[in-house]
A and B are shown apart, each in its own frame.
Chain A
Amino acid sequence: MLNINDLELRHKKYKRKYYAPLFTMIVSTAIIAASITWFFVYNQKNTFIVENKIVKEPIVAQKIETEPVVEEKNESTLELATKEKLHVISENAVREETAEEKQEKLVLSPSLGFMSKLESKSQIYKEPAKELNSTPKPKETPEQKRAETVSPKIENKQIAPKKEEIEEITINTDKKSSINIARKDEIEDIAHVLKRFNVNHNPALSLFVAKKYYQLGDYEQAYNYALITNDINNNIEDSWLIFSKSLVKLNKKELALETLKKYISHSHSSQARQLLEEIQTGKFK
């Protein structure tokens, strides 16, 4: 005779026993699946973070890339084939100069007594607005020159014969770095830089123009823009060197020596000292 009640109880017990492993397996699978999902989601988030960092990296890297170029101007040269690259370099120079501006400014200023001896035939940096209404003044003080813009010079230079060959442009700062810029039309490059300079009055840009003019043999313009650079920031060594070199080229050797000596007494610059020696010994003419 069957004991159905007991059998039903045993059956319930059996079902519980039967489904327990299944239930455990399902729960375990769910937990594992959830863990795996969480793991992947977490990893994905990390990947996004890393990707975001990577996306940001090039910006930082660009800065880092360009900064050493500025810092190692005397050690290496960077050839830039386009104006865009030139633009980037100029921006980096702006940043550098902004940092430099925070530093203590030298009170030194070049002796500009020779300016009275300069004739009005030399091209003078002027404000664009003034340029339209007034003619260049032969004996301008550095303060007056500071207010001038470079626009007239650009026009003059555009008339001058253009050099189409690739040349090296070296932007020198107190960190002694150099940049080689390969380009086809130097005058256009100068004009481009001057446009930017008119907007932000960045001394790095005016220094670049000064150097460019010096390379092109336009020592008066080189003198002008070195002076403008020095007026904005008188801690830039290259502006002193270009200024002095331009004076020598303009047959103002004594004035160049005087300027260099003043600068050396303040900065103890070895480059300035070397240039001084070269001028004194006649190596640099």
Chain B
Amino acid sequence: MKPSIYENSRDVFLDTVNAEDYIQLERVSIFYQSLRDSIEKPLKMVLLYGKPGTGKSMLLSKLHQNLSSSQKVCLYKTPILDESEFFKTLAQDLYAMTYDGELNFTQFVKVVEKRELVGATVPLILLDEAQLYSTPMMEKIRLLSDTRKVKFVIALHKTEKEDIIAKEHFQTRIWESIKLENASTSELKIYIQKKLMKANSIDTASMFTQKSIDLVHKLTDGNYRDVNKLVYTLFDIYVYYANNNPNKINTSEISTKFIEMAAIHTGLIDA
């Protein structure tokens, strides 16, 4: 097998959030559909939460990609921590208004309330990594949603702290929460093989036996981010051996040794 095949397979697993790389898994599809349904409902806020690497960012990206053609939707992958900057960015993206000076919350609320909705659709703001916003900022976001002139989808990590945020800011609001989880073994197999086949790496996709999938799942606990990192390093190792010592490569199945080496390299195994 040529080194380039392993290189292509490796690049598939670059840990980037791109809607184009979205893999249609049954459970992820269910999550996505429930997210779409929640947006259709007259809810002020939707909470999307789960452990890091469970696909929240990917889901927001996919949602943004799919909805942007039909309604106003803004995705903020990284939090804007400065309050004035945050409101100025929203004013620019939602209403194409630019402010040179400061724009505080009161001023922005007035702007929002004066705006009439275009059609029946409420502009949608997707906030990723929302756990990084401060508590006062989250309170202001809640108040903005109360105007019903803007709707928020907030993605955050499920930790104890985020639980408190959820309780304080969303408990009394009309909101819906969707919890994302890690992949099961069967989902992981579909995820890896679909990803590789999407990049026409059929040969490498067929190398993943149930044994190697089980090992990958054991090492990553089905976390998509860890899987991407591990399989990326795995194919990087294959690239090395394909270039330097091809005899060590068994093309019929993924080497357990190489998986373990990749896990050592990525820190999943403490050696």
Query: Are B260's CB and A2's CB within 8 A?
Result: no
Instruction: Decide if B17 is an interface residue (CB 8 Å cutoff).
Output: no
Contact A14 B269 (CB under 8 A): yes
- Chain B interface extent, by class: 10 to 19
A7-B236 in contact (CB<8A): no
Query: With a CB–CB cut-off of 8 A, which chain B residues contact A15?
Result: 260
Which B233-271 residues have a C-beta within 8 angstroms of A?
A: 233, 236-237, 240-241, 244, 257, 260-261, 264-265, 269, 271
Residue A10 is within 8 A (CB to CB) of chain B in the complex = yes
CA distance A107 to B233 in the complex (A): 115
In the complex, chain B residues whose CB is within 8 Å of the CB of A13: 271
Which residues of B sit under 8 angstroms from A17, Cβ to Cβ? 271
The interface on chain A, measured as residues whose beta carbon lies within 8 A of the other chain's beta carbons, has a size of: 10
Report chain A residues within 8 Å CB of B265. 2, 7
- The answer to whether B237 touches A14, judged by C-beta atoms less than 8 angstroms apart, is no
Q: Which residues of A contact B271 (CB under 8 A)?
A: 10-11, 13-14, 17
Residues of A within 8 A of B257 (CB): 11
A4: Cβ under 8 A from any B Cβ = yes
- Asked if A8 is an interface residue, CB under 8 A from chain B, the answer is yes
Question: A13's closest neighbor in chain B, by CB?
Answer: B271
B71, chain A: closest CB distance, angstroms = 45
- B233, B240, B264: the one contacting A14 at CB < 8 Å is B264
Best-surrounded residue of B233, B236, B264, B271 (most CB of chain A within 10 A): B271
Identify A11's interface contact among B240, B244, B261, CB under 8 A.
B261
| Bound-state Cα–Cα, A11 to B236, Å | 16
Contact B240 A4 (CB under 8 A): yes
A14 to chain B, nearest CB (A): 4
**Closest Cβ neighbor of A14 among chain B residues:** B271
In A2-31, which residues have CB < 8 Å from any B CB? 2, 4, 7-8, 10-11, 13-15, 17
Chain A residues contacting B260 (CB-CB under 8 Å) are 11, 14-15
B237 close to A7 (CB less than 8 A): yes
- Which residue among A7, A13, A17 has the maximum number of chain B CB atoms within 10 Å of its CB? A7
Least CB separation from B240: chain A residue: A4
CB contacts (< 8 Å) of B241 on chain A: these are 4
| Residues of chain B contacted by A11 (CB below 8 angstroms) | 257, 260-261, 264, 271
In the complex, what residues of B have CB within 8 A of residue A10's CB?
261, 264, 271
B236 nearest CB neighbor, chain A only: A2
Would you call B237 and A4 a contact (CB within 8 A)? Answer: yes
CB closest chain-B residue, reference A8: B261
Residue of B nearest to A15 (CB): B260
**A47 smallest CB distance to B (angstroms):** 49
Is A2 within 8 A of B237, CB to CB? yes
The residue in chain B whose Cβ has the minimal distance to the Cβ of A9 is B271
Nearest CB of chain A from residue B235's CB, rounded to whole Å: 11
Residues of chain B with a CB closer than 8 A to A14's CB: 260, 264, 269, 271
Chain A contacts of B269 at CB under 8 A? 14
CB neighbours of B240 from chain A (8 A): 2, 4
Residues on the B chain within 8 Å of A7, using CB: 237, 261, 264-265
Complex contacts, A4 vs chain B, CB 8 Å: 237, 240-241, 244, 261
B237 contact set on A, CB distance < 8 A:
2, 4, 7
Q: Tell me the minimal C-beta distance from B19 to chain A in angstroms.
A: 30
| Interface CB pairs A-B, < 8 A, 20 | A2-B233, A2-B237, A2-B240, A2-B265, A4-B237, A4-B240, A4-B241, A4-B261, A7-B237, A7-B261, A7-B265, A8-B261, A10-B264, A11-B257, A11-B260, A11-B261, A11-B271, A14-B260, A14-B269, A15-B260
The list of the 3 closest CB pairs from A to B, nearest first, reads A14-B271, A10-B271, A7-B261
Given A4-B237, A7-B265, 19 other A-B residues pairs in contact with their CB atoms under 8 A: A2-B233, A2-B237, A2-B240, A2-B265, A4-B244, A4-B261, A7-B237, A7-B264, A8-B261, A10-B261, A10-B264, A11-B257, A11-B271, A13-B271, A14-B260, A14-B264, A14-B269, A14-B271, A17-B271
